[in-house]
Structure 1
Amino acid sequence: MNSNEVLARAEAVLQRHGTAPRMEQRVRAAQRRSAARKAMRIVWAAMAILLTVIIAGFILPTGVGTTGVMIAGLIFLLVALGVIMMPGERQPDAAALPTTALAQLPLRTENWLASQRALLPAPAQRLSDGIGLKLEALAPQLQTLDEREPAAAEIRRLIADELPELVKGYGRVPVALRREGVDGMAPDKQLIDGLTVVDSELARMSEQLARGDLEKLATQGKYLELKYQGDVLG
């Protein structure tokens, strides 16, 4: 299959999900939450310093004076700078996904995939948005699924192991080799192929869970046949 056919398949999948970049929205929402928390910390620091200056003004016989105000201002600037330099929200960790409770796994995987979105080529980004939608839909279906069910192991294998390994394997490829690859194996194309398989597998799993076909889900898993798990993305 050539690159044009791969892109056509990717676009066909995207049409089923719409074009809203849901994962990008999640990343931006996380950034806004982080910025809001930092702003609140700066406000609280300013209030604490102001209150300290007011109290000191009443206690000290000569008040705080110009020097005191300057010192308070310097302290505030240092505190504000420290808050701004603090890291934002902790990035999701793919290594924690295999041990995450099944009920929480889809959203944890979606959050991790959202954190990787900027590293993916544009068609893969849009595919990852569609996968994110399917993970959101899958989450409530797993709330009552027993971890001991073979179907649970099938789902966990796909979204906690195979999907992260696909994306991480792509990330390990040098940027200069991602479009062309080596020996005709283009990582960009392979990534899109793999994400397309993940997308269709998630749709199948969700449909079978909705029908209660747990046995069929456990025995008819197609798995990711990642022929490029070896030299190119390995």
Structure 2
Amino acid sequence: MTSYDTNEALARARGTLDRVRLQSFEGLPSAGRPRQGRSLAKRLAAIGGANVAILLAAAITGIAVMPLGIFGALAVMMVMVAVTLAIAFAPGQRPVTREKLAKSELKALPMQTTRWLDAQRPALPAPAVQVTDRIGLRLDTLGKQLASVGDETSAAADIRRLVGEQLPEFIRDYQRVPAELRGAERNGKTPDRQLVEGLELIEREIGQLSEELARGDLDSLETRGRFLEMKYKDGDPA
């Protein structure tokens, strides 16, 4: 699918969302709380790792240097409590905004977009959340490939347009539709269905961009392999 086809398909979907939104004059639905699951899991893992390290250090000290005794054990417990509280109440990462996505460096764009998508999950229907999870996997792969992509290349422009502009704008248009109208059918489709189909289209486009980048790497590898084969044919340098 060409970039023009993608833009046209997304424009049709966004147009449907806009028409549904205009049926109601009620205020916008309140935004859901950003998902905290991943952040909580990371904090718990950090707390567990830090406490294990403290206990190991205390055990090694008690065996190799001198017994800790009651006061030493109390000191270890106090350190563990202090570390636990410090990690638990440490300020989290600042939320990613659409404006920040537009200004992100190309190499950081996939990771920033994944964080932004995570924050949108509470406001999306379950089928759309499943698609955003797949998009996150695509973005993880794409992020690893961007280390060798120049900012001025056509591939970089396509990635910025799709990941940094079209994806967040499309989800924003859906979120502007009043919640009570998102399941109402119009022209054969509901806004919920339009959202899922648009996200699936974006997922496929990200996958194609990733394949194109991989194809370039494979071509480069094949060319280098042929060069080395010609230069060191039969095991002897030319």
Distance 2:172 2:90 in 1: 27
Which amino acid counterpart does residue 30 of structure 1 have in structure 2?
S
Alignment of 1:189-208 (within 5 A): 189-208=193-212
Which amino acid counterpart does residue 167 of structure 1 have in structure 2?
I
TM-aligned CA deviation for residue 127 of structure 1:
0.5
SS at match of 1:212: helix
Aligned twin of 2:117: 113
- Judging changes above 3 Å, is the alpha-carbon distance between structure 1 residues 153 and 35 closer, same or farther for their aligned structure 2 residues? same
- Counterpart pick for 1:153 among 137, 152, 157: 157
Point out the more displaced range, 28-37 or 154-163. Answer: 28-37
Aligned twin of 1:180: 184
Q: Which runs of 4+ in 1 moved over 4 A?
A: 32-38, 84-88, 181-185
TM-aligned CA deviation for residue 30 of structure 1:
1.2
Alignment of 1:128-147 (within 5 A): 128-147=132-151
SS at match of 2:157: helix
> RMSD of the alignment, in Å?
2.8
- Counterpart pick for 1:29 among 33, 38, 50: 38
Aligned twin of 1:211: 215
Alignment of 1:66-85 (within 5 A): none
Distance 2:137 2:42 in 1: 21
Per-residue Cα deviation, 1:95-147 (whole angstroms, up to 9, x for no partner): 11111000000010011001101111010000100000000010010111000
Asked whether the equivalents of residues 170 and 187 of structure 1 are also in contact (C-alpha less than 8 Å), the reply is yes
TM-aligned CA deviation for residue 90 of structure 1:
2.3
Unaligned runs of at least 5 residues, structure 2: 1-34, 48-84, 218-238
Which amino acid counterpart does residue 141 of structure 2 have in structure 1?
A
Alignment of 1:31-110 (within 5 A): 31-33=40-42, 88-110=92-114
Higher normalized contact order (CA 8 Å, seq sep 6+, divided by chain length): 2
Which amino acid counterpart does residue 108 of structure 2 have in structure 1?
Q
Which amino acid counterpart does residue 99 of structure 2 have in structure 1?
A
- Judging changes above 3 Å, is the alpha-carbon distance between structure 1 residues 88 and 103 closer, same or farther for their aligned structure 2 residues? closer
Distance 1:182 1:86 in 2: 47
Asked whether the equivalents of residues 34 and 88 of structure 1 are also in contact (C-alpha less than 8 Å), the reply is no
TM-aligned CA deviation for residue 93 of structure 1:
1.2
Asked whether the equivalents of residues 34 and 89 of structure 1 are also in contact (C-alpha less than 8 Å), the reply is no
Taking structure 2 as the reference length, the TM-score comes to 0.54
TM-aligned CA deviation for residue 85 of structure 1:
9.5
Asked whether the equivalents of residues 31 and 88 of structure 1 are also in contact (C-alpha less than 8 Å), the reply is no
Per-residue Cα deviation, 1:164-216 (whole angstroms, up to 9, x for no partner): 00111111111001111556552101101100100110110100100118xxx
Distance 2:143 2:185 in 1: 36
TM-aligned CA deviation for residue 31 of structure 1:
3.1
Distance 2:94 2:40 in 1: 11
